[in-house]
Each structure stands twice: as C-alpha cells, then as structure tokens.
A and B are shown apart, each in its own frame.
Chain A
C-alpha cells in the first residue's frame, strides 16, 4: 500500500471535521473521495499533506507513520498536492510556478529535471504557450493545469488533487480528467477529491463516499457508478 489512512480524526477547533475514517490507496491506482460540500474531503487531503493536525489515528506513507513530519518535508517523501482553488502563485510567471514545484529538488540542472519540465509541458501544451505569462492573468482552467503541473514537478509518487474540475467549463473538465488518467498511466498514483462524481467514478479504480466526516460507502469506481443509492445522491440520476 502506498498510502494508508487509519482511524483518522481531525478537528477544527471543537468541531469534528472528520471522524474515524480509514481507507488506503494502492500503488498505481486512481482513488477517489466523493462527497458534498463540507463532507471533509479537503480536510482529509490537507491532513495527508500535513497542513492539518491529526487528533487521532494515523497516516502511513509506504508503511511509515508520517504524522509528525511537517508538510514541507512530506514533499520530499513523494507526496505532491494540487490544492483546492488551485492556489497558483499569481504574481509569478508560469515558469516560476513550475520551478516552485521543484523547490526541494537539487537536480535542477540535470537532464531528469528538463525531462520532467518537458513532460509537464507536453501534458499541458497551453502552459508552454504561456510560459512567461504572469499566472494570475490566466483563466481558471489554465491555472488548474498549472497547479497540477506544478505538483508534478516534484516527481511525486502520490499526487493529491483537490477538486480539479471546480469552476471549469464542461469541455475543460473532460480534458482535465483525460490528463489525470494519462498521468496515472505514466506511473503516478492519484488520490482525487471530487464533487463531480460521474466523471471521477468513471476514471477511478477505487472510490469512497464521504458524508459529514465519515466514509459511508466504499467500492470500485465502476461499482459505485451504477449503485442506485449513489446515483440518486451524487449523480443526479433517477432511481
């Protein structure tokens, strides 16, 4: 298992944001957490990347408990994140944002680094066109591509994607999901958080449904996509 979350509880002040959730992400897969607003999806991701403190339970990466490792050191372990709301460094150019993604790497002059840069720019040709543009002046979709590309520049083994489809036009959503599948096929394990359940379930090996801080259903993406209860609640389909 690349990532194991066990009995995780996280609080915001006195409010329990997530309660006793457990799931794991096998190497090489796309795993999805689905749920409505406020279900605890983003909190789960932020806890895995170390931005939120664990109240109880554990997060293990490659079998190692990482609860005490600060967020800036988790990047070096191989956990990369594209945060909710994209959070590009809007005053920096596209190139500088990608360089920030590689902040912890000390091989910035090597062929491997140039290959990674090329890989990102091949995945997102739009970024290559805009390489010297200030990222804050780009559209939401372009910023989303940049946020994912930036995370990839650290060469993560596990890529955390927080609502990559949020606020994007349907056509662009399709494109982003196609790229996520491609990233996965190139060997990066993906943990995806989404409200857009239809697309996410179709693309993921495993999925878990989160409701008010707890996991209420788990299964393969394909199974959950045809599950009548899931359809009614998250896919807007008729039962």
Chain B
C-alpha cells in the first residue's frame, strides 16, 4: 500500500475524487427520484447519460469546436450543454412512455418493470453501438461518417479544451475539476430547493409518500412521474456534459459502469433521498480515488463496491436513509 503517494498528493486526489463524485451524484438523482415515486430502479438511466455524452460530443464537432477558441468556444460549449440536456431528457421521457407507463397502467409487478428496464438499457446501448450499421441501411454512412464513425470504439473530443491548471503552492488543481464540482453541487442545491418549496416539487414528494392521497389532492400521478423522469434526464444531461469536459471520451457502453456507480452512490446515501445522492456520490468518488492511489488504479472498482457493502452492513438504509417523501422542509 502506497501511503506516501496518497498523502503527498492528497489535495489533488481529493479534488479529482470530488469531481468524479459530483458526476456520480448528478446521475444518481435520476435513480433516486424515480425510485421515490415508483419504487422502481430505472436501470436504463445509464443510457440516458450515455446519449447525453454523444449529444455533447457531436454538437462540439458539428459546430467546429476543435478549431474554436475564446468566446466562440464558450458559445459552442453552452450549445453542447443544452443539446446534452435535451437529448438526455428526450431519452428519459421516451423510456417512461415506452418501457414503464404501459406496465404501470396494468399494475404489473415491479419485477416486470425491472426486466423491461434492463431490456431497454441494452436496446439503447446497442442502438448507439450499431449506429454505423443503421446509418448504412439508409446509405448515410458516407455523409455522416464523421459522426457515425467506428461505433464500437472510443469516440473522443480530446484537445478541444485546453483548460488551465492552477498551481497553489506545490498543489496543481484542474480548473475543470473545480467547474465540475461547483456546477454539480449548485444544480443539486437548486433541485433540492425546487422539490422542497415549489408546488410541483411538493406534488412529487406527496406522490412518493402516498400516491392515492396525493391524487385526492389533485396531483396527476402520470404527470408527476413524467416530471421526475424529465428532471432525472436533465440532470443526467448536465452530468454527461461535465463528464465529457473532464474525460473527453465516450463510447456506446460508457453508461454501464457509470450507471452502476451512480446507482451505488444513490444506495450509499439512502435511495429516494436527494441529499443522500449528493453525499453518496461525493463519498464514493473520493473513496475510489484514494483507494486507487493506495492499492493501484486497477483496484478502483473493488474499493468502491467493498465500501458500499461495508457501509450498508452498518447502515442498511444508507448514510442519510430518508425517502423523498419524508424529506423534511
């Protein structure tokens, strides 16, 4: 175990870990909110994130981000943020409409919806992974080759962003990491306030606590479920944007591991709990970064999941353990 490396690089490692954790947390929101109203794990949420990363990548490419600088680059990145959010929101709403609503209408057991979720997840990932073939059917592969590319390998926008690194003493901090943390935590605070204070937010909490009584108050359950999928999608879109700023590379199956990590973060913090998702994400991000410094990067995922098991052994409902409905004002 390399304690010397961990301690001598503690600030950088911690900030890098927090940045990863913030991305996990933003994705975790989608799991936790949908679980709150439906008691269902939306396993296809990982693909909602993955489509967002491609929307970001393609927007940057289409608008010529590789050659842009200054104000133009900022404008391109803002456009990329909105397209990632729009793409993820559309995929999330589509999932709700196609994979869940018909089952919920028929009062299908949650286990059936879970299988539907896993199926939808594979279909969405493979559609992205086979996009070259699909474009080929329509003879579009030449026109769109830049975007279709080799569908099953990494797709990169490396070198677009030459973000500054700040040196404080002998600590180097990536400005992107700081941006990721600030943006993610800021969004979480906004969302937390929305759910606690706004009328629609209270409708979500009421539905997640007692759908039948919420309906007696005039809350339309279908609209509320749609709203939670929409919010989850928008947050996953922001996560996708921040992820691409940091990692610069995506792939059709990038959602799987990130999805599992985000789901882990949600469970770690207490599933159904918004603040728990943030805490769980940050704890997980920092723990696995420290862990990989100690044991070597190949142990990263082992550390993450051992941590999950150990924490759940002592706190079976997660760190904060409250549900969305019971979240206090």
| A83 close to B325 (CB less than 8 A) | no
A50 neighbours in B (Cβ, 8 Å):
215
Residues of A within 8 A of B214 (CB): 100
Smallest beta-carbon distance B45→chain A, Å:
24
Given contacts A96-B202, A100-B206, A103-B199, contact A91 B217 (CB under 8 A): no
A72's partner among B199, B205, B210, B215 (CB-CB below 8 A) is B215
Taking the complex as formed, is A173 at the interface, i.e. its CB lies under 8 A from any CB of chain B? no
By beta carbon, the residue of chain A nearest B199 is A103
Bound-complex Cα distance A92 to B328 (A): 6
A76, closest chain B residue (CB): B218
Please report the total number of A residues contacting B with Cβ < 8 Å: 29
Which of A50, A80, A90, A91 has most chain B Cβ within 10 Å? A91
Let me know if A96 and B329 touch, CB within 8 A: yes
In the docked arrangement, what's the CA distance between A50 and B220, Å?
13
Find chain A residues with CB under 8 A from B203 CB: 100, 103
User: Given the complex, which residues of A lie within 8 Å of B323, measured CB to CB?
Assistant: 91
Residues in B with CB closer than 8 Å to A89 are 205-206, 209-210, 213, 325
In the assembled complex, the Cα of A49 lies from the Cα of B218 at a distance in Å of 11
Tell me the smallest distance from the CB of A7 to a CB of chain B, in Å.
25
The CB with the most chain B CB atoms within 10 A, among A50, A89, A134, is that of A89
- Chain B residues, CB < 8 A from A87: 210, 212-213
Q: Is B321 an interface residue (CB 8 A)?
A: no
Bound CA span A103–B205, Å:
13
- Mask, B211-235, CB within 8 Å of A = 1, is 0111111111100000000000000
Q: Whole-angstrom distance between the alpha carbons of A80 and B218 in the complex?
A: 10
Q: Which of A17-62 contact B (CB under 8 A)?
A: 49-51
**Is A99 in the interface zone, CB < 8 Å from B?**
yes
| A window 83-117: CB within 8 A of B | 83, 87, 89-93, 96, 99-101, 103-104, 108
Report how far A83 CA is from B214 CA in the complex, Å: 11
CB of B72 within 8 Å of the partner chain: no
* Residue B327 CB within 8 A of the other chain: yes
Q: List the interface of chain A (C-beta within 8 A of B).
A: 49-51, 70-73, 75-76, 80-81, 83, 87, 89-93, 96, 99-101, 103-104, 108, 134, 136, 150, 154
Q: List 12 A-B contacts (CB under 8 A).
A: A70-B215, A72-B218, A72-B219, A83-B212, A83-B213, A87-B212, A92-B205, A92-B209, A92-B329, A99-B202, A104-B218, A154-B218
